[in-house]
Each structure stands twice: as structure tokens, then as C-alpha cells.
Chains A and B, each alone.
Chain A
Amino acid sequence: MSKVSKDNFKQESYKYGFVTDIESETIPRGLNEDIIKIISAKKNEPEWMLEWRMKAFQRLKSMKVPEWAKVKFKKIDLQSLYYYSAPKGHEDRPKSLDEVDPKLIETYNKLGIPLTEQKMLAGVAVDAVFDSVSVATTFKGKLNEMGIIFCPISEAIQNHPELVKKYLGSVIPITDHFYATLNSAVFTDGSFVYIPKGIKCPMELSTYFRINASETGQFERTLIIADEDSYVSYLEGCTAPMRDENQLHAANVELIALDNAEIKYSTVQNWYPGDEDGKGGIYNFVTKRGLCKGKNSKISWTQIETGSAITWKYPSCILRGDNSIGEFYSVAITNNYQQADTGTKMIHLGKNTKSKIISKGISAGHSTNTYRGLVSFHPKAENATNFTQCDSLLVGDNCKANTIPYTENSSNSSSINHEATTSKISEEQLFYCLQRGLNEEEAQSLIVNGFCKEVLQKLPMEFAVEAQKLVSISLEGSIG
């Protein structure tokens, strides 16, 4: 095969790397009690919320940064970061879209997320989070009519304290681990969803996270509650400007599904990955956990992870309700010097619980891509079953793929079925496609998209095409 020189491909692949020139309100750098009080005050939070944050912060002081993952990075100086940044004039949430700064509307247009009524994506309600605040939420009124609550979490704390108090921290306790506890202390915004009993949410709910300010960490908090017999499909997307610095994104996402409820959570993660020499990019250290609390409930995670300098996350399911189902479908692509250590935990507590894990890791360039997963059957998890399939695809000779499956089995009647493969894009496949007139990039993209098909088809239709393109773009320049 003739070598395609890397210089032939300009790094135009990251088209979301622009910075919005907007005046923002920030607070002093650093992490201390005063900072947390300021954040809480900015959000007009009730006393109980501030107390909750403070408890987390006290806890954090005695916690150590975890170091077991197969990722390498310089120590993050938490005191050098800004923990709050909001576009000026948006500290009090705009009442209507007319009050939103046109620069922000334009920013979201550029990102392909129109917020204005006439241009909104049909069938998709969007909450737009810009640095530390939510700047707009579409279709709120329409959803309200059905009793569905879809709003920024800072608003939910004000308006639905009973729900927030009951569920916040119920899946990811403030004692959980370093980054999750950090998030509990300093989280700024994120989405809140409540689907009432018996309601099938008629549209996709989605949150679009954008980091804009420099030297600022984004600590989002998302809480989704699906009451009995309800259904919701939720999708998040994320982008950030191209900068030489590394920025920290440490989010917590908690899902709760009650009896017979189903939550489908999809992520298309496209944070800035750093340049081709590994400079800059987002550290994406995220804790995502779902609790299948009720019987026959179901939580399904689908993630397309293409961005970030480092991706370190394990969207998990705690299968407490009898007959509950947990699913994890993942595509993680690393190129250049990106690192990913991602997978899932399926904790089987209830009878007849089922879980399914399909992970597709693609590594190119000098990147490292690790699948790490835990399947655990507790003694009461009679007849629980798991199916795990981990496939790795290597592009080139300088990348690494690891598969680290852990299992814990204290139930006699349960079964685990694990399959793993590692392959290289075959020269035969490439040559076959070239012989039919595709160029190398097209051929590679076709083969890789085929490799990811099982996962890509789990995405809501509105986003599947976009995700396919993203898969191709992420590997640009990796042949040669």
C-alpha cells in the first residue's frame, strides 16, 4: 500500500475549536469554602444545598486522587482553576430566547444546535449549557403540559427541592471517589429530568455542553428520574475550543429508573482532543451511574467517545430491581496521543437481572485505548446473566489496545458470557475497497463504521448520521 503522508491531511478535523468572544463573569481562582459559598450564592441556592456541598468538600479534603487507570497526565492543580464562568447577563436565567445574547445563539448555530423556535430540531428538546450555566432550554412549555420536568438543575433546586433532595447523591453518594466528590462540592449546572408515572416522553431530550472560557473547569451535574411505567431517551453532546492547555471536565450523571421504567442515555462526546502532538485537550473524568431501582426497569447507556485528551469513565448500572436490565454500548476512538480508559460496571443485585456490554475500541496514531469493566453478581442475584463483547481495532503499529474485564460472582445460578477480539484493519479489506474506487480515507471510514455498526445503530436516529461522520473524521490522518 502506498503511504499517505500525514502532511496531506490538514488538521481541520476539529471544526468546533472556535472561541466565542463574549464577556463573562468569573469568580476568583481556586478551591476553598468561600468559592463554594460564592457558587451557591450565584445560584441562589437554599441553605440545604450549600450544606450538602460543604459536606462533600469536607470529605474531599481527606480523599486521594485515584491513580489506577491506564492514563498518564501531569497532576492537576485544583487551586489554579476557575470554578465558575458565565456569560454576562445570563446569571439570572433569561426568561425567553429574546433575552439570550445573540452571540450565544450564533455559537449554538455554528455547533449545529439551533435554539430559536423556528429552527429547532423537530422532536428534540435541548438544554444548552455554556461553561457554568444553562443559557436556554427549548420545548419546555410543551413538555410541562405532560408533567415532564426538563430544566437546568440549578432551576430544579429552586422549584423542585423535594425531588432533588430525595434523589441527588442517591446513586453517586458524596463519599464516592475523588472526582465525583469534587463535582458534588462545586457543580455548577447541568440538566434535570423528571418523567411522571405512565408517561412516555414524546421527544428526545438533550443537553449540549460547551466549554468556552479558558482555565476553567466544567463540573456539570445531571439527574434523571423516570417514575413508574415511564420512558425517556436523553442525549448529550459536548465540544470545546482548541487550546494548548488541558481543561478539566468532571461531571456526575445519576439516573434512577423506578418500576417498569426505561431510560436510554446516549452520549456523543467530542471535546477537543488536543493537537496531533498531544498538546492541549480536555480531561474528561466523568462519573455516570444508573440505578434500576424498580422491578422490570431498564437503563441503557450508549456512548460515542471520540474527543478529549483523556477519557476516563465507566457508565454503570446497579440492577437492584428484580428482572431489571442494564445495557452498555460503547464506541471509543483514540487517535494521535489520546488516551481512553473506559468501560462499565454492571452490579447485579436483584433476581433475574440481565446485562449486556458491547464495546468497540478503535485506536490509531500513538494512542492508548483500554476497556475496563466489572460484572458483579451478588448472592441474591439468582439467575442473573451477562453478555460481554469487547472488540478492539488497531489502525497502524504505534497504538495500544487493552481489555481488562473483572468479574465477581457470588451467585450460583448466574452466568457470564465474555467474548473479546483484537484485530487490525486488514490490508485485504482496504485493497478491495480501493479496487472499487474508494480512496484510503473513504475505505478506512467504511470499514470502521462497519466495525461500530452495532453500537451506532443504538443512537437516536436524529444523531446517528452525525455520529457516523464523527467516527470518520476522528480518524483523519491516521493512515500512513
Chain B
Amino acid sequence: MIEIKNLNVSVEENKILNNLSLTVKTGEVHAITGPNGSGKSTIAHTLAGNPNYIVESGSVNFNNKNLLEMEPTERSLEGLFLAFQYPIEIPGVSNASYLRQILNSHRKHQGLEPIDAAEFLKLLKEKSALLKMPMEMHSRFVNSGFSGGEKKKNEVLQMDLLNPKLIIMDETDSGLDVDALKLTADVVNQMRSEKRSLIIVTHYLRLLEYIKPDYVHIFQNGQIIESGDHTLASRIDKEGYE
């Protein structure tokens, strides 16, 4: 799915990622954890093509394409989804019309007709129910005045609607209460398939109890310092990163 080789990335001239290499095969779930400031979010935003993250050197192969040459829009349309740690507000735009527009953008890329209003409403009801999101939320403006938890659920909803090939979740669990965390894990587990890969960036380890990742990587100073299976997460939980 994705092969990262010797990646060096800086933000505002500070070097954050340090010769990072990581390969995630199709169907695998990888968790990245580590202390604050270790570069976890940087990897997420770099892969999505955020222009503030400058790639100094290295390569990223995404389904046999050079990811670093692709525009952010193209990365999305080709199936890369980033769930934001801090989802952005778009005042004046209803969540429903926004969701329909992004879905139609993806459908167009796949050569499909735009989804009609009735069909979309049905789909939205079905997906919202999984996350216990009231339909009333969709007539509000995108993420505007949403609580922290509501914003995160809205990210998971978009992830579910767009049916991506590679999901990168950036601290999606932070700000979620236990119930919301379980609902999120349920949706993620349901989406887990042999055709899809996930990279879960997390600071807390509770989410990993519900979503058992295939691999856990510990990040420090922009590098992976240790990798293991999901038992590594439990060990860190008990003993800390040191």
C-alpha cells in the first residue's frame, strides 16, 4: 500500500522527521505512538500533502505511484484519508451539503454519477446511526460549534462515507469519552479489511485495546525506535516510553 523510505521532513525550518522508513502492506493496521513532539502528527500531515510540511529528501510510494508528486486533492481521490486531530470549521456551509459534495467529488473520480438527494439522505442516516450522531447535526455548519467529540465523530463519518484505501487517523481518540471511543473503534473495526490499510497515530493507548493493530511503532525524535505487535502497546501502558 505505502512504502516510506528515508524520509526527512521539516516544518518552519525545524527538522521533524529524521530518515524515517516504514512500510504498510495492504490489509495491515499499524499504530504509531510516542511522546509529545516526537513527530507523530508530522508523518500524518506529510502523507496527506499539507504544504506546511516540507519534504527535504526521501521517497513515498503509494500503490505504485510517487505520492510526493501528487496534489493533496489527488491523494484524497486516490484513496488516502487523513482524519484530522483538529478538524477545521467552515462557517456558512451545512454539514450535509459539504458531505454530499465531497462524496460526489470521489464518485466523479470513480466515473460514477452524483448521488441523488434521497439516496444520500438514506446513506447519511445509516452511517450517522453507527456513530450515534443525530441527523440534526448535519444541518449545522461544518464543525462549527461542534464539541470536541462531535468533531472527531464527524471525521470518522467522512472516513466511512469516502471508503478510502489508506486511512491515517491523527489522534482521533483524544477528546472522545469512553462511549464515543467504543463507537469509533466499532466503525474502524468494521472498516478493517484485507483491501484497506490503517495508520493510527495515538498518544493514548486505549483505542488500541479496541482496535488490535498488527504492528505498533514507538516514535522518538522523528524516528521509529522500537516496533512490535500489539503487546508492545500494553507494555508501554504499564512501563512508559523509557
A-contacting 9-mer, from B12-20, B76-84, B175-183, B230-238: B76-84
Query: For residue A442, which residues in chain B have a CB less than 8 angstroms away from its CB?
Result: 101, 105
Q: Is B139 part of the binding interface, using a Cβ–Cβ cutoff of 8 Å? A: no
Q: Name B50's closest neighbour in chain A (CB-CB).
A: A431
Contact check, B93 vs A446: say whether CB atoms are below 8 A apart. yes
Query: For residue A450, which residues in chain B have a CB less than 8 angstroms away from its CB?
Result: 90-93, 141-142
What CA separation (Å) do A395 and B162 show in the bound complex? 29
A423 to chain B, nearest CB (A): 10
Query: For residue B77, which residues in chain A have a CB less than 8 angstroms away from its CB?
Result: 437
Q: Name A453's closest neighbour in chain B (CB-CB).
A: B92
A387 to chain B, nearest CB (A): 18
Q: Is A434 part of the binding interface, using a Cβ–Cβ cutoff of 8 Å? A: yes
Q: Name A436's closest neighbour in chain B (CB-CB).
A: B102
What CA separation (Å) do A438 and B102 show in the bound complex? 6
Contact check, B105 vs A438: say whether CB atoms are below 8 A apart. yes
Q: Name A447's closest neighbour in chain B (CB-CB).
A: B90
List of 5 A-B pairs having minimum Cβ-Cβ separation, nearest first: A450-B92, A453-B92, A450-B93, A432-B88, A434-B72
Query: For residue A437, which residues in chain B have a CB less than 8 angstroms away from its CB?
Result: 73, 76-77, 102, 105-106, 109, 162
> In the complex where A434-B71, A437-B76 touch, is A446 in contact with B90 (Cβ < 8 A)?
yes
24 contacts between A and B (CB under 8 A): A429-B88, A429-B89, A431-B51, A431-B72, A431-B88, A432-B84, A434-B71, A435-B84, A436-B162, A437-B77, A437-B106, A438-B73, A438-B101, A439-B73, A446-B101, A449-B92, A449-B93, A450-B92, A450-B141, A451-B91, A451-B92, A452-B92, A453-B91, A454-B92
Q: Name B143's closest neighbour in chain A (CB-CB).
A: A432
A450 to chain B, nearest CB (A): 3
Query: For residue B141, which residues in chain A have a CB less than 8 angstroms away from its CB?
Result: 450
Q: Is B221 part of the binding interface, using a Cβ–Cβ cutoff of 8 Å? A: no
> Interface on B for A, CB 8 Å cutoff?
48-52, 71-73, 75-77, 81-82, 84, 87-93, 98, 101-102, 105-106, 109, 141-142, 158, 162
Interface contacts beyond A429-B89, A436-B105, A446-B98: sample of 10 additional A-B pairs, CB < 8 Å, sorted by A: A1-B51, A431-B50, A432-B84, A432-B90, A435-B49, A435-B84, A437-B102, A437-B106, A442-B101, A442-B105
B11 to chain A, nearest CB (A): 14
Query: For residue A453, which residues in chain B have a CB less than 8 angstroms away from its CB?
Result: 91-93
Contact check, A432 vs B162: say whether CB atoms are below 8 A apart. no
B232 to chain A, nearest CB (A): 30
What CA separation (Å) do A276 and B89 show in the bound complex? 32
Contact check, B101 vs A435: say whether CB atoms are below 8 A apart. no
Q: Is A2 part of the binding interface, using a Cβ–Cβ cutoff of 8 Å? A: yes
Query: For residue A446, which residues in chain B have a CB less than 8 angstroms away from its CB?
Result: 90, 93, 98, 101
- CB within 8 Å of B: which A432-467 residues: 432-440, 442, 446-447, 449-454
Q: Name B158's closest neighbour in chain A (CB-CB).
A: A436
**Chain A 21-52 per-residue mask, 1 if CB under 8 angstroms from chain B, else 0:** 00000000000000000000000000000000
What CA separation (Å) do A452 and B93 show in the bound complex? 10
B24 to chain A, nearest CB (A): 19
Query: For residue A427, which residues in chain B have a CB less than 8 angstroms away from its CB?
Result: 51-52
Q: Name A428's closest neighbour in chain B (CB-CB).
A: B88
Q: Name B87's closest neighbour in chain A (CB-CB).
A: A432
Q: Name A432's closest neighbour in chain B (CB-CB).
A: B88
Contact check, B48 vs A435: say whether CB atoms are below 8 A apart. yes
Query: For residue A449, which residues in chain B have a CB less than 8 angstroms away from its CB?
Result: 92-93
What CA separation (Å) do A296 and B234 show in the bound complex? 71
B74 to chain A, nearest CB (A): 9
A318 to chain B, nearest CB (A): 31
Contact check, B71 vs A2: say whether CB atoms are below 8 A apart. yes
**Chain A 291-334 per-residue mask, 1 if CB under 8 angstroms from chain B, else 0:** 00000000000000000000000000000000000000000000
Q: Name A455's closest neighbour in chain B (CB-CB).
A: B92
B52 to chain A, nearest CB (A): 8
Query: For residue A2, which residues in chain B have a CB less than 8 angstroms away from its CB?
Result: 51, 71
A313 to chain B, nearest CB (A): 25
- CB within 8 Å of B: which A415-432 residues: 426-429, 431-432
Q: Name A434's closest neighbour in chain B (CB-CB).
A: B72
Query: For residue B109, which residues in chain A have a CB less than 8 angstroms away from its CB?
Result: 437
Query: For residue B50, which residues in chain A have a CB less than 8 angstroms away from its CB?
Result: 431
What CA separation (Å) do A447 and B142 show in the bound complex? 11
**Chain A 361-374 per-residue mask, 1 if CB under 8 angstroms from chain B, else 0:** 00000000000000
B176 to chain A, nearest CB (A): 20
What CA separation (Å) do A447 and B93 show in the bound complex? 7
Query: For residue A433, which residues in chain B have a CB less than 8 angstroms away from its CB?
Result: 90, 102
Query: For residue A440, which residues in chain B have a CB less than 8 angstroms away from its CB?
Result: 73
What CA separation (Å) do A439 and B77 show in the bound complex? 10
